[in-house]
Structure 1
Amino acid sequence: MTRTFIEVPLFTKRWNEIGLGETELTQLQIMLLKDPESGPVIEGTGGIRKVRFPIENRGKRGSVRVCYTDFADYEVIYLITAFTKNEQSNLTDEEKNVLRKLVKSLREAERARRR
């Protein structure tokens, strides 16, 4: 199975704010490559999944939640955002609406790029 990983700017910003680097990013990518459907789909987001990414020595509550979408037809995974459990446990309805529009735009861009 192959996938190209694309980070949206929000993901990169949040990943860095949490204090994670390239090593953890590679671990996340390997985890998602093994099972791109590992996280449950978040209702109302247009197909975004949320997966718990464990971080050494932080325990379950210290792990990072990563929101991503997998366009299997195009072999692309978009990394959307990341947050810790103590920051936020779920997305708000407003965030879901914004992300649903983002997913639609990303899907249209992938479709156009393949023409």
Structure 2
Amino acid sequence: METVIETRAFDRAARDAGMTDAERTSAILTIAADPEAGDLIVGTGGCRKVRIAGRGHGKSGGYRVITFYTCPEGVYLLTVFGKGEKASLTGAEKNALARLTTALKR
């Protein structure tokens, strides 16, 4: 199991998306067990999009958690959004994540 680091942006986004404590715990345990889970997001410097089940909707209607794994620190939870909120990240969001991952790699 890897260390999971929840960023302030993730905390805020999780509240805004309506994630329950149980859903957050499930997401953390899933990601800690497999830090390289999810689809690699091109143009972000190594971020991944992990699908997490939400209140009776399963993974297809649940949440998308954006993560970044770096050794030896662990897995950063960068943000989260509900599947119904948006389909994917914009170019500007990908660029912002690329800048963030560059800083985290230092």
> Would you call these one fold, judging by a TM-score over 0.5?
yes
After superposition, give the CA deviation of every residue in 1:61-88 in whole Å (9 maximum; x if it has no partner).
Answer: 43000000111x2141100110112111
Structure 1 distance, partners of 2:20, 2:103, is 28
Within-5 A mapping of 1:52-63: 52-63=51-62
Which residue number corresponds to residue 96 of structure 1? 94
Which residue number corresponds to residue 64 of structure 2? 65
Which residue number corresponds to residue 24 of structure 2? 25
CA RMSD after TM alignment: 1.5
User: Does residue 1:87 correspond to 2:69, yes or no?
Assistant: no
Contact 2:31 2:37 survives alignment (8 Å): yes
- Structure 2 residue runs of 5 or longer lacking an equivalent are none
Return the offset for 1:56.
2.9
Return the offset for 1:60.
4.4
Which residue number corresponds to residue 76 of structure 1? 74
User: SS of 2:45's equivalent?
Assistant: coil
Return the offset for 1:37.
1.2
Identity value in percent? 38
Contact 2:32 2:75 survives alignment (8 Å): no
Residue 5 of structure 2 aligns with an amino acid whose one-letter code is I
- Return the TM-score normalized by structure 2: 0.90
Which residue number corresponds to residue 47 of structure 1? 46
- Structure 1 residue runs of 5 or longer lacking an equivalent are 109-115
Q: Which stretches of structure 1, 4 residues or more, deviate above 3 A after TM superposition?
A: none
- Return the TM-score normalized by structure 1: 0.83
How many residue pairs match? The answer is: 106
More strand by share: 2
Residue 54 of structure 2 aligns with an amino acid whose one-letter code is I
